[in-house]
Amino acid sequence: MQRLEPNHEPAIALYEAYAPTVFAYLLRQLRTREDAEDILLEVFTVVVEKGASIRGEGKHYERAWIMAIARNKVVDYFRRHGKHYHVPIAAIEDTVLAAEERQPEQTILQQEEYAQLRMHVLKLPTSQQEILQLRFGEGLRCGEIAQVTAKSEGAVRTMLYRALNLLRRIYEQAEGDL
């Protein structure tokens, strides 16, 4: 068995640590397994090429850096294919429901709530949808989202605050219409 060059071992460790998370993100964004696999390969090609520059920065920086590469590759994909970039929130429903065992009535009620949430989130501007997806769908912190989106952490916090307030107002208006 041939031993890998020592300089590839950190990239392999990064792949093993982050590939499942990045792949799940790509599947939610692209919706086809083949496209997600292709983009995953592109992401980790960049990681191998630029990996030496992030050594010693810490786990949170690595994760944000890799997610930023993935996000940029998704944007490039949509630019190449002439599609509009949007953040699908629907995938969160499956993750939450799979993690919790519920009675049939509770499951139906939960599905209705998620459908209503998806409908209301789609009324938000795309940038706010993306911030919500990264924060609640991907579990990134505001600092990590700032690195992914190339915005300041303060701007991300403001966008998140405004998105949640707007979503709250949309819910209140929908309740008032009933």
Q: Is 4 helix (H, G, I), strand (E, B) or coil?
A: coil
Q: Please state, as a whole number, how many other Cβ atoms lie within 10 Å of the Cβ of residue 55.
A: 8
User: Could you read off the pLDDT of 84-113 as tens digits, one per residue?
Assistant: 545 455 555 555 555 555 566 777 777 888
Enter the pTM of the model.
0.51
More confident of the two residues 9 and 174: 174
User: Could you read off the pLDDT of 16-39 as tens digits, one per residue?
Assistant: 888 898 998 898 888 688 889 999
pLDDT band at 50 (very low <50, low <70, confident <90, very high): confident
Contact 22, 66 (CB under 8 A): yes
To the nearest whole percent, how much of the chain has pLDDT over 90?
18
Which domains are present in the chain? 6-80 (1.10.1740), 90-177 (1.10.10.10)
What single string gives the DSSP state of each residue in 123-154?
TS-HHHHHHHIIIIIS---HHHHHHHHT--HH
- Tell me how far apart the alpha carbons of residues 11 and 54 are, in angstroms, rounded to a whole number: 11
